[in-house]
């Protein structure tokens, strides 16, 4: 499987950002990613 340099850079950058985040922020992102009626209504405004 070949990965282009650009894709590799993207993955590395994403990992850097992901690792630099605290566990709490990570859980927040996961919670936001899940479809929640109340949350999505608040975000859409």
Taking the domains of the chain in order of start, what are their residue ranges? 5-44
Distance between CA atoms of residues 39 and 30, nearest Å: 13
Of the two residues 5 and 1, the one the predictor is more confident about is 5
The pLDDT score that the predictor gives to residue 11 is: 84
pLDDT at 16: 74
**Amino acid 9: pLDDT:** 86
- What confidence score (pLDDT) does residue 4 get? 83
Per residue in 5-31, pLDDT (tens digit) is 888 888 888 777 766 665 556 566 666
For residue 29, what are its two tokens? 């992102």
Contact 32, 39 (CB under 8 A): yes
Closest to 31 in 3D by CA, of 20, 45, 42: 42
Q: Is the pTM for the entire model greater than 0.75?
A: no
């Amino acid at each position: 499987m070949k990965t282009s340099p650009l894709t590799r850079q993207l993955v590395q950058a994403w990992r850097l950002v992901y690792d630099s985040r605290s566990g709490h922020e990570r859980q927040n992102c996961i919670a936001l990613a899940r479809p929640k009626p109340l949350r999505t209504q608040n975000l859409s405004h």
